[in-house]
Each structure stands twice: as structure tokens, then as C-alpha cells.
């Protein structure tokens, strides 16, 4: 019988995301950056996002914390820099929330592709860096 080992507490968190997840998150952030810029340029689009958030809240598709986070971010549109920072913040909570975004339909396919091409595609100068 083995003696009981006390679990060590770590002063750091173990990151469980791989290269693929980071690439997907980079693409999602680029798309949200483009959506945020379009919302700032066309504030009338916000009404559709708020309606979608209210519908999701009422049908249980979004937790209350996620609902409050998105509504709070939309309330920051009067401060464009803070709004854009909030939309693209790279925290675990925002990474999770952006995976089920309420900003569906804000960008058309050309705008989405342009955002990906301009901001999300990583380039390697030399393939030997992978080896």
C-alpha cells in the first residue's frame, strides 16, 4: 500500500491549449476585431445583437454571466478603444465566449475573409523553424 501523497500547489497554471487552438483563437479574435470595427461604424447593427442575446438568455442558450459580459461590452461603444480591447481581450473567459459569438451575421463573407487574411494568418519565414 502506497503512502498518501499531498497534492502540490502550483504557482502557475497549466495551459492545455495546443497550436491548433491558438490558431483558431487568433482567427476568432481577428474576426471579432473586424466585427467590432463594423459595429462602431454602423451602430444600428447593435440592435440585432442585443435581440439575439435576449433571445439566447430567454431560451437558455447563454449563461447569465456570458449575457452580462456581452451586454457590458456593447455598453462600451461610446469608448471605442475600450470597446475594441474588450472585444478582443485574450483571457480564458473571452476566448470561451467568442467561440459562441452573438455577432453572427455582422460580417459578410468577403469582410470575414479579409479580416482573416489581414490579421489571422500566421506566416513562417522558414519551415526549418518547425523542425
pLDDT at site 27 = 92
pTM above 0.95, yes or no: no
Cell of 60: 437558455
pLDDT at site 21 = 74
**HSE toward the beta carbon, residue 100, CA cutoff 13 A:** 12
Integer-rounded Cα radius of gyration of the chain: 19
Kindly state the helix (H) or strand (E) to which residue 63 belongs, with its residue range.
none
CA distance 104 to 107: 8
Chain-centre distance of CA 56, in angstroms?
A: 18
Angle between helices 19-41 and 80-88 (to 10 degrees): 150
Residuewise pLDDT in 10s, the chain (131 residues): 556 555 556 554 545 556 567 888 899 999 999 999 999 999 999 999 999 999 999 999 999 999 999 999 999 999 999 999 999 999 999 999 999 999 999 999 999 999 998 875 554 444 444 44
Longest Cα separation, the chain: 68
Enter the DSSP assignment of 91.
S
Nearest-5° Cα angle at 49, 44 to 53: 150
Amino acid at each position: 500500500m502506497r503512502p498518501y501523497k499531498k497534492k502540490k500547489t502550483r504557482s502557475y497554471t497549466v495551459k492545455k491549449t495546443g497550436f491548433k487552438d491558438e490558431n483558431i483563437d487568433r482567427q476568432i479574435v481577428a474576426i471579432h476585431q473586424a466585427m467590432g470595427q463594423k459595429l462602431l461604424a454602423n451602430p444600428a447593427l447593435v440592435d440585432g445583437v442585443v435581440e439575439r442575446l435576449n433571445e439566447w438568455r430567454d431560451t437558455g442558450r447563454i449563461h447569465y454571466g456570458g449575457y452580462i459580459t456581452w451586454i457590458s461590452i456593447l455598453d462600451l461603444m461610446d469608448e471605442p478603444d475600450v470597446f475594441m480591447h474588450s472585444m478582443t481581450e485574450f483571457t480564458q473567459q473571452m476566448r470561451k465566449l467568442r467561440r459562441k459569438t452573438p455577432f453572427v451575421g455582422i460580417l459578410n463573407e468577403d469582410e470575414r475573409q479579409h479580416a482573416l487574411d489581414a490579421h489571422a494568418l500566421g506566416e513562417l519565414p522558414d519551415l526549418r523553424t518547425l523542425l
